[in-house]
Structure 1
Amino acid sequence: MMLKNIMVLLFISIIALGSCNRTADKKESQQDSIATTTADSLPKVMDTLAVPKQEIAQDESIDRAISNIVRAYSMQDSKSLNSYIDKTIGLYTIYRPGVQAIYVHATSIDFNHPIPEYYPYPKPNFSGKVTFGILPVYDCGKETWNKKGLFCNNKQHPTELSQTAKFMNEILEAKISDAEIQKLKALEAKSYRVILTDKNAPLIFHITKQSNRWVLTVIDRAYGSCDA
């Protein structure tokens, strides 16, 4: 009788133990399912500290822009120089085919096709700094500049472009509209004139503030030319 009772108790214990194990396995399986569902279905949160922020372009200083333009022009680096030409404004080239100066409007510069075609772009040799102040003057009698170097007058706005348009109308009957001349004057109102005095390869241009950056808008190939 005693042995029979022990066998019954042992059988009940085995059944109870199996039931507990199945319950534990079921709970573990449910937890795994929940964990898997949560990881796959919930949106991933980006770590904002790990995402690089877009760099804000800093305004380039006028002296740095002038130096870069002079360097690109001297090296006849069309790609670098054209990066300073705003496509909506373009580039005005002033030159003198005779007594009267005229201008040509383009969207870029090509050193292989100069404006005018008979006057190749020279290669100035200058590596100094920009001096801000009164611009140098060319003396046709002495065929020399009154001072040497790279200068920018940042206290006075140029008028050479609009004056050229005015004279083209008066002398050449170019029929440039008043609206266009006002547009040129508005461009000059935010521009400064730069002169690099190189005896054989002077460089004269206008630099303009456009959309928080400095751009090249005018190359003056007429001033300093005393042939006519």
Structure 2
Amino acid sequence: MTRVLVVEDDPQLVRALVINMQARHYGVDAAPDGTTALRLAAARQPDVILLDLGLPDMDGVDVIKALRGWTRTPILVLSARRASEEKVAALDAGADDYITKPFSMDELLARLRAAVRRAEDGPHPPGTTLVETDDFTIDLLAKKATRHGSGLRLTPTEWHLLELLVTNPGRLVTQKQLLQEVWGPSSGNRTNYLRVYMAQLRRKLETDPSHPRYLITEPGMGYRFEA
């Protein structure tokens, strides 16, 4: 049974989440604050954590940081905070997904299932050298990419971006992380760099660059590689 920890101080929302998840055979624990959440996470070892950022005793971002000190359990943020900087702060702290309130229960459950699948599949292990999709293959060791059997010419910057994404399949990599990794800590908010290079990668890798299947944009937050 998949076990979920719900960290939320709104009792009505907690009740709705518990009823919906138990009906789908999830095991559910609930915590009304950050302190209880950290204690339950250690004691119950949940498979997924649903976390509100506005907790009565501590900020949810601090809870994420504390959890990430010892666990890679998927964390899905549920928050009424809509500002891009709030979302980026949570993702940079280690959250795996960000769902804005109010939300559809069906969408939440779909994202919950996706988080469980990604955790079960796991990222490519350190020894992995080959990433294969229906349309292209990435050889990480040889630093070569092929599409339908033909070699692709990628610039060093394009390759660096692609490598960061494909080695974190299904996981959102934030704009800040990509900028710092590829262009260095002084790159600031030069998100136009990312748009230009991601467009180039899509032209080379995607069948329909305007409707990408593999290199997915999360508006205002970052990018995700879906295999």
The TM-score normalised by the length of structure 2 is 0.22
Higher normalized helix content (fraction of residues):
2
Which of 1 and 2 has greater Rg?
Answer: 1
